Structure 1
Amino acid sequence: MSRFRSIVGRAMLATALLLGCQTASSAQTTPRQPLRIYAAGSLASSFSDLLTAFGTPPATAVQATYGPAGALRERLEHGETAELFASADMAQPRRLAQGGHKGSVVMFARNRMCAIGRSSLGLTPANLLSRLLDPAVKLATSTPGADPSGDYAWAIFKRADGVHPGATAMLEDKAQQLLGHPGARALVPGHSAAEGVFLSGRADVLIGYCSGASVLRNAVPDLVAVQFPQPLDVSAPYGLIVLSGNPIAMRFALFILSDAGQTILAQHGLIPVTLSGTHSP
């Protein structure tokens, strides 16, 4: 039933976007506006490919801003403008919709959470929690509130109490929030913030999105990625909202939901939600 409601919801959004495209296109008398996109940092590579495949009109300037979704949402609430906002969760676009931005929120992909750590730790799904609880293992996460990845990590911590009583408090106490907050800086020049976590020796394990694990492992030697098993695993749905009547933004949102767009997302390690003939786990 929940899958049926999700499909119906996306179909309704597609209909609304199509109608919006027709209305905005027929009413447009001013020069074409830029396509300004605010999107979660974990979407940077996939959205770059999506925009290339989408092929915006020559007169349309694309301005893409990537970063922690919670921080981007706050910037939009404080007056910055974008035509489309894509988040690594559903909460951020819903807050914009509830705060007065007229637009429908739709889930366009999902992700998984992984523990990415040094191979010397011997991480496996079976021993993952005990390794994370080991006082000698330095643990890093993103920042809850500012970045959905941090919220997902804290949700995993809450589930841990059901497996090991007292684990929630222990994990929250030892976790270093090294990523995702507005003031976060790369710990090692020339490397991403996530790479710097390991290259600087600040952490042995980073809780993050499985979709980004392969890039991180290519940059930092001797890392492994282990997906959180049940009952620790949490769902990581990604949501978007179109924030203006710009027909290019509406068509781009439809492209993300199309088979072609969903295939590109899958190529970047995300789980498609509308790809024909597939079923998300």
Structure 2
Amino acid sequence: MLNPAVKLGTSTPKADPSGDYAWELFRKADQVRAGAYAALDAKALKLTGGPDSPKPPAGQGTYAWVMDQSQADVFLTYCTNAVASQKEVPRLKVVPVPVELQVGASYGLTVRQGAPAQAEAFAKALLAPPAQATFARYGFGKP
């Protein structure tokens, strides 16, 4: 990503959480290599998620379209977006970032006491093997 010849695409920080995560990764990169944050911040192309971001044609995914149009050589995004984009444009390659640069989020699920039975059933369904297999296909880890 630091190679000046590589066009680095991101979502727009402060407008899209994916962009916020990208800039957090840039901060982590600076801990690995001094000056990386400034270089990545300066070169990152904010191609999606902002109010003025170009929109793909109907029926095309945003990230797949950006990459298919060669707007970026590399696009830093969620695993779920990368996997979906590769399904749409099979020649794309999903490359996990090194562990020292990974930015993660912890998600929780709460069912309110006294909630309708459907809420409890929904929570149990999300934790069941079929749903977990679906999450795994999109790059989510196990709870």
TM-score interval (norm. to shorter)? 0.7 to 0.9
* TM-score with structure 2 setting the length: 0.78
Q: Distance in 2 between matches of 1:133 and 1:202?
A: 17
The equivalent of 2:16 in structure 1 is 147
Q: 1:227 aligns with which of 96, 107, 123?
A: 96
- Structure 2 gaps of 5+ residues are none
Whose relative contact order is higher, 1 or 2, with alpha carbons under 8 Å and at least 6 apart? Answer: 1
Distance 1:261 1:191, change over 3 A: closer
SS in 2 for 1:218: helix
The equivalent of 2:137 in structure 1 is 267
SS in 2 for 1:136: coil
Instruction: State the one-letter code of the partner of 1:169.
Output: A
Per-residue CA distance 1:148-181 (angstroms, 9 max, x = gap): 3222211110011122211101111221222233
- Contact 1:157/1:171 (CA < 8 Å) preserved in 2? yes
SS in 1 for 2:99: coil
- Structure 1 gaps of 5+ residues are 1-131, 274-281
The root-mean-square deviation of aligned C-alpha atoms, in Å, is: 2.7
For the pair 1:199 / 2:43, whether they are aligned, the reply is no
Q: 1:181 aligns with which of 47, 50, 60?
A: 50
Q: 1:162 aligns with which of 31, 37, 40?
A: 31
Structure having the higher Rg: 1
Q: Distance in 2 between matches of 1:267 and 1:258?
A: 15
Q: Distance in 2 between matches of 1:250 and 1:179?
A: 36
* Superposed displacement of residue 194, structure 1: 0.6
Distance 1:240 1:175, change over 3 A: farther
* Superposed displacement of residue 185, structure 1: 4.5
Matched ranges for 1:35-184 at <5 A: 132-181=1-50, 184=53
Distance 1:249 1:181, change over 3 A: farther
Distance 1:134 1:253, change over 3 A: same
Instruction: State the one-letter code of the partner of 1:214.
Output: V
Q: Relative to structure 2, which stretch is displaced further, 139-148 or 223-232? A: 139-148
How high is the sequence identity, in percent, across the aligned residues? 42
For the pair 1:238 / 2:118, whether they are aligned, the reply is no
SS in 2 for 1:225: coil
Distance 1:213 1:166, change over 3 A: same
Instruction: State the one-letter code of the partner of 1:262.
Output: Q
- Contact 2:79/2:138 (CA < 8 Å) preserved in 1? no
Distance 1:189 1:257, change over 3 A: closer
- Contact 1:141/1:177 (CA < 8 Å) preserved in 2? yes
- Contact 2:83/2:138 (CA < 8 Å) preserved in 1? no
* Superposed displacement of residue 212, structure 1: 3.5
Instruction: State the one-letter code of the partner of 1:203.
Output: A
Q: Distance in 2 between matches of 1:225 and 1:267?
A: 13
The equivalent of 1:253 in structure 2 is 123
